[in-house]
């Protein structure tokens, strides 16, 4: 038989127990909804929330970008990680879709060779990365070139 004291202790223990960390909401196509923020932490939160194999691709892309562009600035804006040389000038971003991760090169038409994905925006080009299809050498070459071009102010 429970006493009033043991019931109160049980209720108090439930109130004090830490809540499970809240998982980010996945938007259309599985893109994580991450609050806008500057620095590595929001980008890492985005990468950790990318579903399935895309999280591994996100980690690899982030590692390659950081290795290729020492001192790169990072942010999450519009539920996408951005990479740049200054806090408001960006050369690429990432975005999750159902079957691939899209890399946006803001000055993509100036890269050699030009990334394959066309855009409605004159200078933007895309790279869609499907599971198991990341060409690291080509990606690093584009990142190096993109980081040497004037970035996009946003």
Cα 20–Cα 61–Cα 28 angle in degrees, nearest 5: 55
Predicted pLDDT of residue 33: 84
Predicted pLDDT of residue 63: 98
Question: How far does Cα 114 stand from its chain's mean position?
Answer: 22
Of 64, 72, 103, the residue nearest 89 (C-alpha) = 72
Predicted pLDDT of residue 22: 60
Predicted pLDDT of residue 11: 47
Domains of the chain: 25-153 (3.90.1150)
First to last CA, the chain: 64
CA dist., res. 86 & res. 70, Å (int): 12
Of 71, 47, 50, 70, the residue nearest 59 (C-alpha) = 47
Predicted TM-score (pTM) of the model is 0.82
Q: What is the mean pLDDT of each run of 10 residues along the chain (154 residues)?
A: 52 48 68 89 95 96 98 95 90 96 97 95 96 97 96 87
Predicted pLDDT of residue 20: 44
């Amino acid at each position: 038989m429970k006493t009033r004291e043991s019931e109160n202790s049980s209720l108090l223990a439930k109130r004090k127990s830490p809540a499970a960390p809240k998982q980010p909401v996945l938007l259309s196509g599985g893109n994580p909804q991450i609050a806008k923020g500057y620095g590595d932490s929001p980008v890492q939160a985005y990468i950790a929330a990318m579903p399935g194999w895309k999280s591994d691709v996100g980690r690899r892309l982030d590692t390659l970008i950081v290795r290729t562009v020492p001192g790169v600035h990072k942010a999450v804006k519009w539920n996408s990680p951005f990479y740049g040389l200054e806090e408001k000038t960006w050369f690429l971003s990432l975005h999750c879709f159902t079957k691939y991760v899209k890399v946006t090169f803001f000055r993509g038409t100036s890269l050699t060779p030009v990334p394959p994905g066309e855009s409605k925006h004159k200078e933007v080009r895309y790279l869609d990365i499907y599971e198991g299809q990341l060409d690291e050498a080509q990606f690093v070459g584009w990142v190096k070139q993109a980081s040497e071009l004037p970035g996009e102010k946003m």
